[in-house]
Amino acid sequence: MKVRKLVNSILTFGMVLILFITLPMFEQTAYAGNALEAKLNVSSAEIVKGKSFSLRVYNLKSNQVVYFNSSRPGVASVDSNGVILAKDNGNATISARIFESGKIVTTLACSVKVGPPAQAVLISSYNLDLKVGDQARLSHLLFPINTVETPVYTSNDESVASVSPGGRVIGEGVGQTSIFCIISKGYATCEVTVHPAEEAQVEPEAPQTETIASASEQSDEQQTVTEEPVEEVKAETPAVLPEAPEQTDAPETVSEAEVQEPVQDATVEADQQ
């Protein structure tokens, strides 16, 4: 018994020792698996000629350093802070090389397109009539076609109608307001009128109920009219049928009597002569 207890104690001690040795290894593996990878704020960008854009690298470690580089500095240059300057129309690639302890750990890339600014803008509708809660979408057309500028939508009164960055207009309250589609050299305007939501819900329902009621009343009247003549015909038919044979027998009896009487008179007259 003492030997068995001694063996059990040794086994228990060994298991505890193994746990203490392997637990830190599991913790390090789990932490490494959950570590966030470095990434850029965007993977592509369209920049108007003469404008700038900032690249940012997220999830950098304290001992890591980033160096930016451009494949075509004449089209888009980049400084040590990741600020891109659009110089000429065309395409370029901005690279972000991450160094750790003097070695490149990873390289991130962002494709850049440089184009001209927009000179004019057209929108799909210049007047909108909405009810509260309704939605409509405005689309735009920019000139020249190869521009890379993105217009900005804004509402003059968001309590009447709001607009999303993509041009979706929502009726918020009764009234009138203007939606602007703005570019660097001008804008287009859409006048929006928002009506109460109850206007279109009450009017169509009243004539429908009246039409259904009148139609049902007419159908009831037609049923009552068609049922009465059927009952009268059924009641008169049996009274006529039994009288037909009696009227046909009477003329036959009378005709026989009228034929026999003259014959008897002729025989009497012959005997007297």
User: Between vectors from CA 66 to CA 86 and to CA 114, what angle results, nearest 5°?
Assistant: 15
Asked if 162 and 140 sit in the same domain, the reply is yes
Does the residue 225 lie in any domain?
no
Tell me, what's the pLDDT at 6?
63
Structural domain boundaries, residue 172: 120-199
- Tell me the three state secondary structure of residue 71: coil
Tell me, what's the pLDDT at 9?
67
Of 94, 115, 136, which closes a domain? 115
- pLDDT tens for each residue of the chain, 273 residues long: 566 666 566 667 666 556 556 555 544 444 344 468 999 999 999 999 999 999 999 999 999 999 999 999 999 999 999 999 999 999 999 999 999 998 999 999 999 999 999 999 999 999 999 999 999 999 999 999 999 999 999 999 999 999 999 999 999 999 999 999 999 999 999 999 999 997 544 455 555 544 444 444 554 544 444 444 444 444 444 444 444 444 444 444 444 444 444 444 444 344 443
> 116 and 49 in contact (C-beta within 8 Å)?
yes
Does the residue 69 lie in any domain?
yes
Tell me, what's the pLDDT at 38?
93
Into how many domains does the chain fold?
2
Of 115, 148, 164, which closes a domain? 115
Alpha helices, DSSP H only, in the chain? Answer: 2-34, 199-202, 205-240, 243-272
Asked if 168 and 108 sit in the same domain, the reply is no
Does the residue 54 lie in any domain?
yes
Asked if 103 and 84 sit in the same domain, the reply is yes
Does the residue 271 lie in any domain?
no
**pTM of the complete model:** 0.57
Tell me, what's the pLDDT at 271?
44
Task: Kindly report the number of other CB atoms within 10 A of residue 185's CB atom.
Answer: 11
Asked if 106 and 138 sit in the same domain, the reply is no
Tell me, what's the pLDDT at 220?
52
CATH number for the domain harbouring residue 165: 2.60.40.1080
Q: Which among 214, 180, 178 is positioned nearest to 193, based on CA atoms?
A: 178
Whole-angstrom distance, CA of residue 186 vs CA of residue 166: 18
CATH number for the domain harbouring residue 83: 2.60.40.10
Whole-angstrom distance, CA of residue 48 vs CA of residue 144: 12
Tell me, what's the pLDDT at 117?
96
Q: Side-chain half-sphere of 23: how many Cα atoms within 13 Å?
A: 6
Does the residue 44 lie in any domain?
yes
Helix, strand and coil content of the chain, in percent to the nearest 5, comes to: 40, 35, 25
Q: Does the CA dihedral 155-159-165-171 come out positive or negative?
A: negative
